[in-house]
Chain A
Amino acid sequence: QAQLVQSGAEVKKPGASVKVSCKASGYTFTSYGISWVRQAPGQGLEWMGWISAYNGNTNYAQNFQGRLTMTTDTSTNTAYMELRSLTFDDTAVYYCARDVGENWCDPWGQGTLVTVSS
């Protein structure tokens, strides 16, 4: 069955960048896209953007334009999310999820906690 496994927790200083990986298995990677969603502590879900694993097309939420980059590596079935110029407000659990085309998300990765701390 489809599964997404994310990289481990990160601690970053304000102004730094973080890159989270999401390795897919159990399905044809290039037949779907990947959405990234984050969840601040005790808060709800916020969609960050989507990338097609077929052709690399991306669509980023306006809130992250200019400091977010999503990429995929089809040789390893891995998606990446890089967020730059981190602030304390970026402290959150970051999830990747399989998403055929900015639709529903299923399944989800286990989440990666990114803590921004001085």
Chain B
Amino acid sequence: DIQMTQSPSTLSASVRDRVTITCRASQSISNWLAWYQQKPGQAPKLLIFKASSLESGVPSRFSGSGSGTEFTLTISSLQPDDFATYYCQQYNSSPLTFGGGTKVEIK
């Protein structure tokens, strides 16, 4: 199975900060990576697919980059609605696997 490792596990930031979350795969997954946002008590919501493609309706302050084994999710200017937990997910091969999550907290 492909292991997905996210860092940091928790991130404290302020509104308008630039935030970067890293996701590393245990082997190359090309660009077969998605990012999700999950708020407490809610289902995950797709933000990014194919490593850098922004899902329709997702604010442009979210962006994704990377290929192979290293990927990043960047929020260019953190907004109050962005405080949540973020997960990466690889779909290069079965079983699909998720990173452990990064909780973005208010500083």
Give me the interface of A with B, judged by CB distance under 8 Å: 35, 44-47, 50, 59, 61-62, 95, 97, 102-111
List 5 A–B pairs whose Cβ atoms lie within 8 Å, in order of A's numbering: A44-B99, A102-B94, A105-B36, A105-B89, A106-B55
> Which listed residue, B46, B49, B98, touches A46 by the CB 8 Å rule?
B98
Q: How distant is B55 from chain A, measured CB to nearest CB, in Å?
A: 7
**B46/A47 in contact, CB under 8 A:** no
> Which chain B residues lie closer than 8 Å to A105 at the CB level?
34, 36, 44, 46, 89
Q: Which 7 A-B pairs have the closest CB atoms?
A: A108-B43, A106-B46, A104-B34, A47-B96, A104-B49, A45-B98, A61-B95
> Which chain A residues lie closer than 8 Å to B49 at the CB level?
103-104, 106
Give me the interface of B with A, judged by CB distance under 8 Å: 32, 34, 36, 43-46, 49, 55, 87, 89, 91, 94-101
Knowing A45-B87, A108-B44, the reply to whether A102 touches B98 (Cβ < 8 A) is: no
Knowing A102-B91, A103-B49, A106-B55, the reply to whether A47 touches B43 (Cβ < 8 A) is: no
**A104/B100 in contact, CB under 8 A:** no
Q: How distant is A98 from chain B, measured CB to nearest CB, in Å?
A: 10
> Which chain A residues lie closer than 8 Å to B99 at the CB level?
44
Cα separation A47 to B99 with both chains bound (whole Å): 11
Count A/B pairs, Cβ under 8 Å.
55
**A107/B101 in contact, CB under 8 A:** no
> Which chain B residues lie closer than 8 Å to A47 at the CB level?
89, 95-98
Knowing A35-B96, A47-B96, A62-B95, the reply to whether A104 touches B89 (Cβ < 8 A) is: yes
Cα separation A105 to B55 with both chains bound (whole Å): 11
Knowing A44-B101, A104-B46, A110-B43, the reply to whether A59 touches B94 (Cβ < 8 A) is: yes
Cα separation A111 to B41 with both chains bound (whole Å): 9
Cα separation A104 to B90 with both chains bound (whole Å): 8
Measured CB to CB, the nearest residue on chain A to B57 is A1
